[in-house]
Structure 1
Amino acid sequence: MTAFILTAGLLAAGVALTPALLHRVYRAPRIREQGTPAALALPYRSLRIPTVNGKTLFAWLVSPAEPAEPLPAVIVLHGWGGNAEQMLPFAAPLHREGYAVLLIDARNHGRSDTDGFSSLPRFAEDLEHGLDWLARQPGIDPRRLALLGHSVGAGAVLLLASRRRDLAAVISIAAFAHPEQLMRRQFRGNRIPWTLGWLVMRWVERTIQARFDDIAPCRSIRHVTCPVLLVHGETDSRVPPEDAECIYANRRDASTELLILPDTDHDSIDAIETHADALLAFLGKTCRGVLPVPPQGKDATRFSDRPLPRRV
């Protein structure tokens, strides 16, 4: 009887501790910025942008103080455990080409506020608050706004774009096709039985309050109406290029393009210096037109107010 009680107690403790353990395992590492855009001789100002739950996001706006005319702008979002500084290689060529660039830290990243857990939908929430803030700024053309994201940030730009109709373009770099596929690879690589993996997936879905099928980039791409450039490294050791091909195969129409970069791994952000021309050419095509002014005030809707895309 004593052994039975002890075993039952250990099982109960394990069940009680599992959520806390998983929160710790899946907590995003925080790396704070050490430098600034000044290191690249870029004009900038540091910002705090309000987001949900009364939290604020740290950001840099790279732009002339008083541009001669409203500028097209690109909002840049890092991946899991990243920050705005890691995405600075994108800012220099964009600035030279005449774009304003807003680099933001998602919650729990860089110098942004802490707020529970991180997830792809929360990345998209923060991205939308940055987008709406930027659209209201003087010197920014709200009809020529584009999104650029890396890794989880790439999934977030596709998810947000699937729910907006006021974007000029989206660049998604090194996105995974589906969260379940990503987790299956992680569990397989660590030789963890998929029975346990399935339970972890259900816990993650419950925690983030979203089904993987509803937020998967290979699903959200079907609902994006603006032009999309999917970029992926040919030698990506974390997310294979087949994921980009899967997303591309589910594209809505011919306005989505796929660019596979040779000799480029998952975190090879510096490769932008080699391939910047392709990204700038895409933005040049897509941000040249003028979209209707996006709704503001009572006519605007928030990311969290919109239903998830219908499953297809």
Structure 2
Amino acid sequence: MGWIAWLALGFAAYLGLGFLFTWVAWRNPRVPPRKNPGELGLNFQEVWFATVGGKRLHGWLTFPPGDQSGRSPVILVHGWGRNAERMLPYIRVLSQAGFPTLAFDARHHGLSDRDGFASMKKFAEDIRAAADFLESRGEKPPFAVLGLSIGGSAAIYAASRDSRLQPVVTVGAFAHPRDAMIALGFGRFIFAPIAPILFRFIEWRVGARLDQLAPEKNIAKVPAVLLVHGANDTVVPPSHAQRLLAGANGRAQLWMVPQRGHSDVHLEPEFFPKVLAFLSQKAAAAS
């Protein structure tokens, strides 16, 4: 076999290894919730509702005791590889402040249905399905959305296409899915030469161009966004928050939290007071 054939064979093997790496790296852990709002002393309902493709989502609908506020539930969205349990600290504080909540497991996470793979696009579809579910129960939009990491990025994208979803609060959201993956090491090092091919493979599998999904290209369509980001975030670099703010055309505000990373921002003493003030202000403006 000539050297050209050997070169072609080697490149084919290298490309195949890149696709295999992409397939494996894409897999997210599916861990069921171990705790629920009842363990916080809260009154809640376990709910199931439909999403795209005939799949079902598992969630918790929690109302504050004796709630007479007439507030619509806040939709809470976890991050990659997590589940609704991740939102329990948020459920507790929001409930104490009189906000009903709907937290759910995104597709291919927690107890919700499998669906081949997870993606930001599917997270966004599930957020819109949550709004559909709340409306089916007689709840009145708009519904505020609070999302973590990919859940926050998906909330921006979903809200840019659905006026029922506002305002939006994000924690550690990324500006562009491609750049978020690169920051985590995907498409770098050994696979850098074929990164464009691998990203096109991802787009084919997701069913949308990453540029079209990018929150920084859609955030200006969302009326009000509070961007919260840890200044020491090593998962989603703080530059993503600055890019989102720049793309919002004045419709977003940014709180960069010193000495905090990707998953501990909610431990900052000022975190929940700022979030509650933002939600209350926007709810009052909408009424």
TM-score computed with the length of structure 2 as normaliser: 0.90
Provide, for residues 55-87 of structure 1, a one-character-per-residue CA deviation record: whole Å limited to 9, x for no partner: 100101111587445322210011110110011
Measure the CA separation in 1 of the matches of 2:22 and 2:110.
Answer: 22
Matched positions, count: 287
Measure the CA separation in 2 of the matches of 1:188 and 1:132.
Answer: 35
In structure 2, stretches of 5+ residues that fail to align are: none
In structure 2, give the amino acid aligned to 1:271: L
Deviates more, 1:150-159 or 1:204-213: 204-213
Q: Kindly tell me: are residues 222 and 132 of structure 1, through their superposed partners in 2, closer, same or farther at Cα, counting changes over 3 Å? A: same
In structure 2, give the amino acid aligned to 1:289: A
Measure the CA separation in 2 of the matches of 1:20 and 1:90.
Answer: 37
Q: Kindly tell me: are residues 167 and 53 of structure 1, through their superposed partners in 2, closer, same or farther at Cα, counting changes over 3 Å? A: closer
| Contact 1:62-1:102 at 8 Å conserved across structures | yes
Measure the CA separation in 1 of the matches of 2:107 and 2:186.
Answer: 29
Counterpart secondary structure, 1:213: helix
Counterpart secondary structure, 1:266: coil
Provide, for residues 147-175 of structure 1, a one-character-per-residue CA deviation record: whole Å limited to 9, x for no partner: 11111101100001111223331101101
- Candidates 143, 154, 157, aligned match of 2:155: 157
Partner of 1:232: 229
In structure 2, give the amino acid aligned to 1:219: K
Measure the CA separation in 1 of the matches of 2:5 and 2:17.
Answer: 18
Partner of 2:185: 187
Measure the CA separation in 2 of the matches of 1:174 and 1:18.
Answer: 28
| Contact 1:72-1:287 at 8 Å conserved across structures | no
In structure 1, stretches of 5+ residues that fail to align are: 292-312
The answer to whether structure 1 residue 283 and structure 2 residue 283 are counterparts is no
- Identity across aligned pairs (percent)? 34
Provide, for residues 109-146 of structure 1, a one-character-per-residue CA deviation record: whole Å limited to 9, x for no partner: 011110011111110001110111112324x3x13410
Partner of 1:168: 166
Measure the CA separation in 2 of the matches of 1:276 and 1:37.
Answer: 18
Partner of 1:61: 61
Q: Kindly tell me: are residues 15 and 236 of structure 1, through their superposed partners in 2, closer, same or farther at Cα, counting changes over 3 Å? A: closer
| Contact 2:64-2:95 at 8 Å conserved across structures | no
Alignment of 1:84-123 (within 5 A): 84-123=84-123
Provide, for residues 29-63 of structure 1, a one-character-per-residue CA deviation record: whole Å limited to 9, x for no partner: 11211111122111111111111111100101111
In structure 2, give the amino acid aligned to 1:276: F
Task: Give 1:16 shift.
Answer: 6.1
Measure the CA separation in 2 of the matches of 1:152 and 1:220.
Answer: 15
Measure the CA separation in 1 of the matches of 2:220 and 2:159.
Answer: 10
Task: Give 1:223 shift.
Answer: 1.8
Alignment of 1:46-57 (within 5 A): 46-57=46-57
Counterpart secondary structure, 2:267: helix
Measure the CA separation in 1 of the matches of 2:160 and 2:102.
Answer: 21
Deviates more, 1:268-277 or 1:280-289: 268-277
TM-score computed with the length of structure 1 as normaliser: 0.83
